[in-house]
Structure 1
């Protein structure tokens, strides 16, 4: 780790007190293998026969989701456009409030549900703790029918999916709204919300209490602001609140026969070796004659690794993609599980990643000898590894953003580029982006030439074809100039996921610093003013959350030890996050003010960037963590000729949630940078 304070982007702050050990990773390309875990919980390199083609048409665990809508919790489900049975075989339960649930659930379950509802209404104080299982529904269309039918019949219930099991409980959003309006209005509002009928609206009863209307406006904006918009309307009866769906643009009228090539989506599993995600995409885009932005994916994977991930390309048929596979393999790009799908893949639509790692040249801390001198040393290492793995399996690790988030090896880290973008100084951001590395490698020469001459055309000729981002920027700068407008167009030439990477890097650095400061000043216990997830939230405990599910720890909860450090959330700066209500809130304000962002809206309109922020768990936990310690020949360990000595190698296998970093987990295990 660099010693310059400005360069320390992953602080050396740990959660466990074991001793650890030294070692090195990524000696060989096969030492770091990353396999995406899709939203259904399957590793994407599992043979196609072993998993159904569910990308990108996913069932979210713990919730259902309507295609092409933004929504919260469990009230978004596919709604057919015509009565009867839809094209995909789903029963249309949205047409009537009087759905015969016994047809869908069975008579006994339906009766149990009716009894559960009666119990809820009789015992409101215990309602949020009560839950009823409706049974197992392996077929996702069947699950969608159950979700819709229950929600239409009982709008005040939330449906929850876990391992094909559907259960119901009181919806906390309904409970909150029912304190503001009548039960009939609350039920009608949630039926309107579930239906998602284009062009429809819902109007509450007239209410001449302005303060009360404001409370209703604020509730709908806070819980459903991305989906709904509200407006007050006045007539002779008084003032009412009208709610309607936000406009998403008029859909083009077309039949199946008129469907154009632009509507064709092909999903596949991408395996790449020692390539950046965008580098692989750029090469495939050039070979297929499409734009890099026509490729969508759930997450970016490491460069120095073998990685497997789901991807979808637009405007390319499965047959055409299959024809290119041999050509792509020459560049270390292998495609499998190619199939047609109905929509693109979106960032974040994954459960996490599975890692198969090898740490080589294991040694005791402070030892310069990478080779075990005898059974005593190996026994010591064995004890240290067992202790370290047990600690991290039990306590987890500080959930820092890893160095990959900031562009390892760069003279100018990505967070500095992101800071310039947030300040809307796009010219400075371009020049920071083109800051060269030390040395005379071709990319650095091309960058240096651009900064010295401002000649984008000549710099483009010098830039290697593999540097996709740099070449896209230089093409735009050559066409539009290097002034403010040209720099804006240069940034817009990058896919949105790459533009937003830089301000995200800045916010991630602030998050890392905030967590280190929090642990150093407030310790490892939960304090008043810390943020935790609400106990009745249906969000996955490891997921990043919006401010709607955030609870501020009280004095009494601190004294009672009501929460653990693993439940504490730390905000990554953005325009929708809630900040801690203790000394950390002041720290965030001072930190942003120091960078000139005290009044930042975390939006860059000219680049179509919006950063809502998130609440990220302070700790992360590896799942299914296993390990094996063994002796490895020195030559195999990447050390060349070693006179026949052996070194110890550690194999680790584990799963992490999305946006968690294996290198950071390894730092906690080893107590040093691997």
Structure 2
């Protein structure tokens, strides 16, 4: 897939083999620091409607600020931006932390609530409560404050039931970011985690007003968020409300006129029928907390989705109940965090020995409060052994060590072309994933199914079942032949058995597998186009930034949306050499991105036309697929690069300059950003195709 593609460096390189064994290629996911995860708490999952969305679709970054569609730089498997620290409303820092007055008629003024609290608690206790509330809000604003979510404050025993009810209401109306509960007549106050999460999505005033509306529980009342032109952001808010309060509330988007007398969209919330009378629980309105268990998956010689298939079959849950931040190599030993829903830590520990027989180990099992999403990682650490070192056939130099040193220095300084690696497309397979993705984009559902079931040239149960299905279209018979862990294949076959191997049946078959798996194939096609575009761009313009290129400005101003950071280079900027090639990005095709206004943009049009795709085609409503697109830097840099040479027979590091080629191995370690491929970086270092 990468043959004849471009290089950015000009050293000679050297030859060698990689992945002789899984232990020669070790990948460890670098987890995102906890304080940066705060902005990724909202899951933006895609469906054709704007209500609850499916898991693992592209994430929305800077959700609180972005009020319009703004595709950003790529994350692995997706089209989303890099997370940025959340903002805090000025009203949240210090001072009087009581919520802003609400204009809704059912809400009392804060001053009146203070009077109620004084009379119910007495002024000294009321002042202590106010101090606790302010301290808690200030602690929330400190990103590294680990105990902010566990703080509690006791109001003491309140024996009178009516006084307790009045106090519950008064506390929550003055401090909507708090929740109250009673333990043996003692009233406890603590922070509301749901309030804190919503604050990352909308303004604090909207959050405060929403929770006051929620607490008032007035039948037939409604609440509306501020006008919001960003569809992806509205989806996140819809999903948050449904996930937390879905049994109590329902949401709907409707057209409003904003302050500029322009049509816009807003989210309206109302109580479901008869749900308004339900009592509020201590932790908010979410009546049943989802159970999440986090763990680190170590796998060897397994695809990520294949490993999940094994785990799901053994645990009796769906593959879609697992979440992860990125897809990892098959021919490697990989370590990656995962979260599974509806499974206890104890249950996960029970299957450990069985999974070891499948090439997996489960480490660091602990409870979690939510799932992961694609791209929610800082990067990956690679520890790689290159064996059978030798010169290229055209290289007459006798000094292999010098060749290696030159290559390492060059790549560390200049980086590498940021291609998607061959594993993205199903390396070595008869049918590659991008071909299935193209068939799905063209809504050729039967063709996509037959490509999916195209067997490899091996005689094993999986490929025999695929071969049988293509020959007979007997979905039921093929289903019996398939091993349990082939979850995707079984999901498709069950639907085909029920609905038939025709356009409608195949459409329902694709809908029967999780959204994250459906979109995986489409993203593979988009990745292939990006690879070809990068080669074309470098071939005709080289490393010079020219008029019409797209550049990504790394501004720190969080008020600037990601989309606004993508700029089209002008002729004057080209003449002034204002930008470097490291700032140039190319679009991952989709319906909401802009294309270069030079020959590269024209190339995109012609290339997509060749595949019968129009520029606005990247929506497949029958499959609930919506591909907005994003931007990906042409070049990437390697971090924390180190290496040493080792005698393969003696296992000791080599320091002299006299190398016996056949007995020497190269050990390389480096870090890469999410969505970067180690095989691509190695290709640049060695000037070899794998």
| TM-score, normalising length: structure 2 | 0.69
Q: Which residue of 1 aligns with 2:99?
A: 95
What is the alpha-carbon distance in structure 1 between the residues aligned to residue 61 and residue 8 of structure 2? 33
Contact 1:634 / 1:646 at 8 angstroms: preserved in 2? no
Name which of 319, 322, 325 aligns with 1:292.
319
Count of aligned positions: 536
Name which of 26, 31, 40 aligns with 1:33.
26
Q: Rate the CA distance shift 1:68–1:424 in 2: closer, same or farther, 3 A.
A: closer
**2:135 is equivalent to residue 139 of structure 1:** no
Q: Which residue of 1 aligns with 2:191?
A: none
Q: Rate the CA distance shift 1:386–1:588 in 2: closer, same or farther, 3 A.
A: same
With 404-413 and 16-25 compared, the bigger mean Cα shift is at 404-413
What is the alpha-carbon distance in structure 2 between the residues aligned to residue 634 and residue 238 of structure 1? 76
CA shift for structure 1 position 317: 1.1
**2:271 is equivalent to residue 244 of structure 1:** no
Contact 2:43 / 2:236 at 8 angstroms: preserved in 1? no
Contact 1:294 / 1:313 at 8 angstroms: preserved in 2? yes
Contact 1:201 / 1:243 at 8 angstroms: preserved in 2? no
What is the alpha-carbon distance in structure 2 between the residues aligned to residue 446 and residue 66 of structure 1? 41
Q: Which residue of 1 aligns with 2:344?
A: 317
Alignment of 1:534-545 (within 5 A): 534-536=553-555
Q: Which residue of 2 aligns with 1:73?
A: 62
> Could you list the per-position Cα deviations for residues 47-71 of structure 1 after superposition, in whole angstroms to 9, with x for gaps in the alignment?
xxxxxxxxxxx4327x845545775
> Could you list the per-position Cα deviations for residues 147-178 of structure 1 after superposition, in whole angstroms to 9, with x for gaps in the alignment?
xxxxxxxxxxxxxxxxxxxxxxxxxxxxxxxx
Contact 1:230 / 1:241 at 8 angstroms: preserved in 2? no
Q: Which residue of 2 aligns with 1:331?
A: 358
Q: Which residue of 2 aligns with 1:270?
A: 297
Contact 2:492 / 2:512 at 8 angstroms: preserved in 1? yes
State the secondary structure of the residue aligned to 1:461.
helix
CA shift for structure 1 position 282: 1.4
What is the alpha-carbon distance in structure 1 between the residues aligned to residue 323 and residue 6 of structure 2? 35
Q: Which residue of 1 aligns with 2:391?
A: 364
What is the alpha-carbon distance in structure 1 between the residues aligned to residue 135 and residue 3 of structure 2? 52
CA shift for structure 1 position 320: 1.6
What is the alpha-carbon distance in structure 2 between the residues aligned to residue 66 and residue 28 of structure 1? 37
Name which of 8, 12, 17 aligns with 1:15.
8
With 465-474 and 292-301 compared, the bigger mean Cα shift is at 465-474
Contact 1:36 / 1:352 at 8 angstroms: preserved in 2? yes
| TM-score, normalising length: structure 1 | 0.71
Q: Rate the CA distance shift 1:255–1:400 in 2: closer, same or farther, 3 A.
A: same
Q: Which residue of 1 aligns with 2:442?
A: 423
CA shift for structure 1 position 225: 6.3
Q: Rate the CA distance shift 1:384–1:73 in 2: closer, same or farther, 3 A.
A: same
Q: Which residue of 2 aligns with 1:197?
A: 210
Q: For structure 2, which runs of at least 5 residues remain unmatched after alignment?
A: 45-58, 66-84, 102-109, 111-129, 152-201, 212-221, 238-252, 653-659
What is the alpha-carbon distance in structure 1 between the residues aligned to residue 362 and residue 354 of structure 2? 11
Q: For structure 1, which runs of at least 5 residues remain unmatched after alignment?
A: 1-7, 41-57, 108-134, 146-188, 205-216, 370-375, 637-643
**2:686 is equivalent to residue 664 of structure 1:** no
Q: Which residue of 2 aligns with 1:118?
A: none
Q: Rate the CA distance shift 1:623–1:203 in 2: closer, same or farther, 3 A.
A: closer
Q: Which residue of 2 aligns with 1:611?
A: 627
Q: Rate the CA distance shift 1:517–1:668 in 2: closer, same or farther, 3 A.
A: same
Q: Which residue of 1 aligns with 2:594?
A: 578
State the secondary structure of the residue aligned to 2:378.
strand
State the secondary structure of the residue aligned to 2:524.
helix
Q: Which residue of 1 aligns with 2:644?
A: 628
Q: Rate the CA distance shift 1:565–1:72 in 2: closer, same or farther, 3 A.
A: same
CA shift for structure 1 position 434: 1.3
State the secondary structure of the residue aligned to 2:382.
strand
Query: How large is the Cα RMSD of the aligned pairs?
Result: 4.2
Name which of 355, 379, 404 aligns with 1:352.
379
State the secondary structure of the residue aligned to 2:647.
strand
> Could you list the per-position Cα deviations for residues 420-463 of structure 1 after superposition, in whole angstroms to 9, with x for gaps in the alignment?
10011111100111122234444333222211111122223333
CA shift for structure 1 position 394: 0.6
With 322-331 and 616-625 compared, the bigger mean Cα shift is at 322-331
